Structure 1
Amino acid sequence: MPASPHPDPFTGWLRDHAAPLTHLDPEAPLDDLEPLRDLIGDARVVAIGEHSHFIDEFIRLRRRLLRFLVERCGLTVLAFEYGFSEGFPLDAWAQGQGTDDDLEGHLGETVPVGVDDPLRWIRRHNAAATRPVRFAGIDIPAAGGSLLPALTPVADYLRDIDPETLPAIEQAMRIAASFAGTSAASAAPAWARLPAADQDALTAALTRLLIRFRAVEPLYVSRGDRRDYDLALRRLEGACQADYGFRAMAGLFAGNGLTADTSARDVYMAESVLWHLERSGPGSRIVLAAHNAHIQKAPIRPARTQVPGPDRIRLQSTFLHTPGLDAFDGILHTPAATVARDLEEGKTP
């Protein structure tokens, strides 16, 4: 077929801007990633996206990028699309606590989103590093699968700080346990089947606890300390955001939801990044690993860019219209996408 007399302008743009990568091997030399250095500059947060979870090529490339950003660009924290509350024991493990075999127990029944290999690399790196790399979760508990990873440590906190509130949080935990799952895909339908009285009682209990936390902050801090208060509050906020998300998803599937209602989760994740950044010490810089839909700079809308290019990203079984060149500072392309080993072995979300 003869060449088109009207060449695709995006092809020309790629020819001028693209930099080829030589391999995906996480342990291979990093020189081919050097063009990213100018793109990153002195940014305090560098986000690595993926259009789908559970893809082997993305997982391996993310590990290469983590090495590059830590070893050559000086980033110090890996923030992951993983529960905020659940991230703290993983950080302790990454700093050398326990044995190498303990990681599987920490991860438990969580959805295999590719966090285990980066954690193992961080633990090995930290064994000889002058400045250790930290790990931070940023998401709502269990990615919306259960409120219990956040509420259980909050109950432990209140048992010492404010035992008068235990009936309220115990009620919330009883209801939360009745629909808990490993991901929002299982928990959201189970929540929707709850009696409306239970749904409302859960929301009421969480809201009352959150308002009390904020209203009596000086009292709580005086009975404990600032760090424990801030941590318990952030966990409770995650449970509240997840509870709101169940209502938002129910409205979405029923066709009567409010516009952009599910954005509450994205707001929580963004605020969690700031929470960790503010508490990670001077000079801290974060690598953020999350789905493209959580990190893009442009809103989800039909693409209107000067250079025609990628105009949609994959989201499970559908596509989101997104102006790729506006939404991201760089796009990494792999010629193939292979289902990750964990899913092939039946460890499905």
Structure 2
Amino acid sequence: MHRYGDEVAAIARPLVDEGDLDVLLDRVGDARVVMIGEASHGTHEYYVWRSALTRRLIAERGFSFVAVEGDWPDCQRVDASVRGGDATPLEALLGYERWPTWMWANEEVVDFADWLRSFNASSERKIGFHGLDVYSMWESLREILTWLREHDPSRVDAALSAYHCLSAYSEDPQSYAWATKFLRASCEDDVVRMLIDLRGRDLAAPNDSAPNDSAPTGSATRPNDFAARWNDFAVRQNAEVVAGAEHYYRAMVRGGPDSWNVRDRHMDATLARLLDHYGDGSRAVVWAHNTHVGDANATDQAVQGEVTIGSLARERFGADQVVLVGLGGHRGSVIAGRTWGGPMTELAVPPGRPGSLEDILHATAPPRALFVFPPLGERPDLLVDALPHRAIGVVYRPEHEQYGNYVPSVIGDRYDAFLWFDETRALRPLHPLHVDTHELETYPTGV
């Protein structure tokens, strides 16, 4: 008998269909934020079950929007589509062009967005889909300029100054980053001036009335007023993205935890702005990688000086208002690239490293299982021991797993619940897939 066997048997619940999520919905209770992770950005089961949980949170618990680890402009197109715009979700998601495209441009997200569009069409509540991330510097700048030229020409000059400064680097963030380090070049002042200028726009006060078709929250105000209010918010958010991205790329070349923290603090601040904009009683579902969703204080990320949106949300809203859900698996296949910017490839995921959380659950848990963690003080060793826990990024080399890909974690503190899948398969990208012919020399043992 495995040393954790009895403990796992006592807290693991088989996960067969969406009805098995009832106990997790009970755990969510009145929490304002539910963050749902994933152990990779390319696994079918993670996307499908994250969508299933989110559908129930929206339909049964009144959650207001989904915020994802994606770019604001791309997600704005999806948001328009799920609110009934001319483009279908498939068309909106095919517009994702920045690598890694498969992260959101996949059939699993299309299925969810189709459901959300249907839900919105038949409901007075209109559920949004928004991006939290910081990478879309030039895309956001173009969105700002297009909007200002049509709606607020007096503010175009400040935005153009930032655009002209940044355009000297041919939309190559690494060129800009290295220029700030070695040439002491910087567009920071221009970007900050633009942000301050746009922050100074008069925005309508958050409303607190009944829902309306044309806005995140509702009111007795005319729909066109809501459209204007949302557009004001969106253009200012694009300015926040540009400022965050400029800061991120400057921090990136310095090394250390700074760039990671700039990014997660930006996502945390964006989430807070969205909740404020949606108004009193609004609730958010967040989709991001486990390394962002999980509480950094329960991992070696804290030792390295890193924060996460999970740890920041617990600080900002209170631990009782935030539920963090991790997802993981033992072996199977995944979509990833072998190098940054390389072709997306279906890669084999070897069995979990011996002694890891994945190895333990493979030996002791049902093939698919849900864990909702008991309160502090009633936790078994599995939830309080520091265990290696696998994390697969958009760059992945399975043959190197013995050197990395595992985050030492106290699982019971890192998450509030965990969804487990012993066998997983790659998600289904919308864009063409490169077929990988490389086979691990020591597969399937991975050592």
Task: Please give the TM-score of this superposition, normalised by the length of structure 2.
Answer: 0.62
SS at the partner of 2:385? Answer: coil
Partner SS, residue 284 of structure 1: coil
3-state DSSP class of the match of 2:69? strand
- TM superposition shift of 1:264: 0.6
Distance 2:264 2:301 in 1: 20
Aligned partner of residue 200 in structure 1, secondary structure = coil
8 Å Cα contact 1:49-1:291 kept in structure 2: yes
Q: Is 1:171 the equivalent of 2:164? A: yes
Does the alignment pair 1:103 with 2:92? yes
Task: Quote how far apart the aligned CAs of 1:195 are.
Answer: 8.0
Q: CA deviation at 1:331?
A: 0.9
Residue of structure 2 aligned with 1:139, choices 130, 133, 139: 133
Report deviation, 1:196: 5.9
Q: 1:130 to 1:309 in 2, by over 3 A?
A: farther
Give the drift of 1:297. Answer: 2.3
Q: Report what 2:291 is aligned to.
A: 293
- Distance verdict in 2 for CA 1:347–1:238, change over 3 Å: farther
Partner residue of 1:319?
A: 406
Residues 287 and 104 of structure 1, relative CA distance in 2, 3 Å threshold: closer
What CA distance in whole angstroms lies between the structure 1 residues aligned with 2:263 and 2:39?
18
Letter in 2 for 1:205: D
Q: How many residues align?
A: 314
Picking from 182, 188, 191, the partner of 1:203 is 188
Quote the residue 1:45 is aligned against. Answer: 33
Give me the CA root mean square deviation.
Answer: 3.2
TM-score between both structures, scaled by the size of structure 1: 0.77
For 1:200-258, what per-residue CA distance to the aligned partner results, in whole angstroms no more than 9, with x for missing partners? 243342233334445xx2xx439xx8765543333222112212222333233xxxx4x
Long gaps (5+) in structure 2: 204-227, 303-380, 397-404, 436-447
Q: Which one has a larger percent helix, Structure 1 or Structure 2?
A: 1
Q: Which runs of 5+ in 1 are unaligned?
A: 24-29, 180-186
- Counterpart in the other structure of 1:11: 5
Q: 1:98 to 1:91 in 2, by over 3 A?
A: same
Q: Which amino acid aligns with 1:206?
A: V
Within the candidate set 110, 115, 126, 1:121 is matched to 115
Check 1:72–1:221 CA distance in 2 against 1; reply closer, same or farther (3 A cut). closer
Q: Secondary structure at the match of 2:103?
A: coil
1:264 paired residue among 253, 262, 272: 262
Query: Is the 1:151–1:173 Cα contact (8 Å) retained in structure 2?
Result: no
Q: CA offsets per residue over residues 125-153 of structure 1, 9 Å max, x none?
A: 2222242322122111xxx2x41221112
Q: What CA distance in whole angstroms lies between the structure 2 residues aligned with 1:298 and 1:169?
A: 34
Could you list the structure 1 runs, at least 4 aligned residues long, displaced by more than 4 angstroms after superposition.
190-199, 211-214, 225-230, 302-306
Kindly tell me: are residues 62 and 11 of structure 1, through their superposed partners in 2, closer, same or farther at Cα, counting changes over 3 Å? same
What secondary structure does 1:19 align onto? strand
The residue aligned with 1:330 is 417
Q: Work out the percentage of aligned pairs sharing the same amino acid.
A: 24
1:250 matches 2:262: no
CA contact 1:79–1:136 (8 Å) conserved in 2: yes
